[in-house]
Amino acid sequence: MKFYQRIFFLTFFSIAAVHADDFTDILQDLAVQTACIGQYSATQAGGTWSEDPLDYYKPYLLAERFKKMSGNTTRTITFYGVCFDYAEFAYWDIKDNESLYIKNGMRKGQFFLAGNNSNPNVIELSVPTSTSNATKFQNGIPVRTYGNSSYKNIKAHKAQNGTRATNHAWLWVMRNDGVWFWIDPTWTDNLGYVVYGYVSNGEEIQCRPDKDFCLEYPDFLKNLPLPPKMTEWNPSPASTSTSSSYNDYSGSSSSDFNYGNYNNEFPWIFGVSATAPYPYVEEKEFSQDKIGFSFDALSLINGMTGGFSIDYLRNFKDEEKLQSWLLSICFGPRLYSNLAAYVGGGLGVGFDGNKKEEIENSGETYDFTDSFFLSYKLSLGLVLNISSLVAKVELSFNDILGFSAGAGIMLGFGY
């Protein structure tokens, strides 16, 4: 069953930082909005649900935006579909709010669905329409093309591996100065950063996205070009005077919403955690005589997590007098936009409070250093973040407590 829904956004955000221009800001925002609403369906593309790519942008990001602006969390409509669903959703958002886009630099009426087949060197432009006016159907949706003028001998934008997009759909939008721009909401959702750019010299050039719109920011993005500056800015009075539910949008607004504040792109995360032997966790019986504590410092950037902790472990139960201090490190991949896994380990110094008595009882001479030994720890765990709040769950084995389970709470600090 083909799903099709539209949503009217009551407000856009803008940022106080210096960006390329209002036009590229509003296009990047459109890509992110669409990515938040959508989730890519590998099943609809001929695969299975297990092949679904990561869905970085989620509806709660929009809810957080509305909460920040109005004080209330707003429910949103979502869809589960393929690239054409993303492109069509973005198209209708421009269509329904065209005056806002014109006000911020778009040429009136110049926005189209863009797509191709297995040939990456030809792009076809079309617009959704009624069945009676359609010239073809794409993904079950009637669209209208305009003969040969719909086909552009333009090379599609590239994926991370260098291959160009094929059997794909996205959006073309013309800026007021005649420069064609494109946005790819599908890849934005799957990669965690805005995939957009402009058309020049027979190909689609990918531009460097602004960090405020990104959940991920791999290093290669820093080397991408910025969009070309506006060379003409003469929107007619008639095109800008049309009333719009978006007429509050302004490039100088101080609302300053940053998607990065609601992701796991945190270079600094600090917190504390506690550890107990697994049998005590299972039996829900905790003892202050057999427990561990950690001060944790983690980082969640560029699709990875890593960091270190300072651990204190003690076992004074059943006449044991063992304790240790360790320095542990961990690293691992991000599994989803707000979930990461890690493996780790640590080494440190342990102290056996019974060693002196044992040695003296055996008739040997005790030296203070005899009570110290090399202590170790092996661990694996998960890190989950919701906004700036970060939780850690860990399973470990160490020579003081044996098999153990732990959890902690941390606070992340973004860019």
Q: Which tokens go with 398?
A: 């160490």
CB contact at 8 A, 40 and 55: yes
Label each residue of 159-187 as H, E or C.
CCCCCECCCCEEEEEEECCCCEEEECHHH
pTM score, two decimals? 0.53
Helix (H, G, I), strand (E, B) or coil at 37: helix
Higher pLDDT, 123 or 281: 123
Higher pLDDT, 377 or 299: 377
pLDDT in tens, 236-259: 333 333 222 222 222 222 233 333
Q: Which tokens go with 160?
A: 């991370």
Alpha-carbon gap, residue 78 to 59, rounded angstroms: 7
Measured CA angle at 93 (ends 141, 166), to 5 deg = 50
CB contact at 8 A, 173 and 94: yes
Measured CA angle at 137 (ends 133, 139), to 5 deg = 140
pLDDT recorded at residue 286: 58
pLDDT in tens, 198-241: 999 999 999 999 988 898 999 999 999 999 888 743 443 333 33
- Would you give the DSSP letter of residue 264? S
Q: Which residues contact 353 (CB under 8 A, 6 or more apart)?
A: 321, 322, 323, 371
Instruction: Give the CATH number of domain 266-413; options: 3.40.190.10, 2.60.120.10, 2.40.160.20, 1.20.1290.10.
Output: 2.40.160.20
CB contact at 8 A, 412 and 269: yes
User: HSE (CB half, 13 Å, CA atoms) of 266?
Assistant: 30
Domain ranges of the chain: 22-262, 266-413
CB contact at 8 A, 365 and 385: no
